[in-house]
Amino acid sequence: MESPLLLARIEELSRVAHRHGSFDEPWRPLSSREFEVARCIAAGMTNGEIAGELAIAPKTASAHVGHILAKLGVSRRAEIATWVANIALPTTAPAKADPAVLSHR
């Protein structure tokens, strides 16, 4: 179930992306690493699984999740997954994926 607040936030972020010319980079406002983590979340991974997949410490994975939640203005991992789905990019999380390549698939 998609939250009206989340959908409004997604629309707002899309408008900001268009204004700033970053529509070719739909993972913005996230860093490329945060986007990798967001894709892992969308794939249903736990922080421990994300850490293993991306070769980072579990605390680092947790910190990235916190940053993603704050940047997207959401409070749950499910909302991150919905955001990833709404930008229509694959949710499987290859290690060290290059968002520039992913956005052109």
Within 10 Å of residue 8's Cβ, how many Cβ atoms? 11
- For 15-48, the pLDDT digits (tens) are 666 665 544 555 678 998 999 999 999 999 999 9
- The predicted model scores a pTM of 0.62
Report the top-level CATH class of 4-91. Answer: alpha beta
Cβ proximity of 83 and 44 under 8 Å:
no
- For 50-103, the pLDDT digits (tens) are 999 999 999 999 999 999 999 999 999 999 999 998 875 544 444 454 454 444
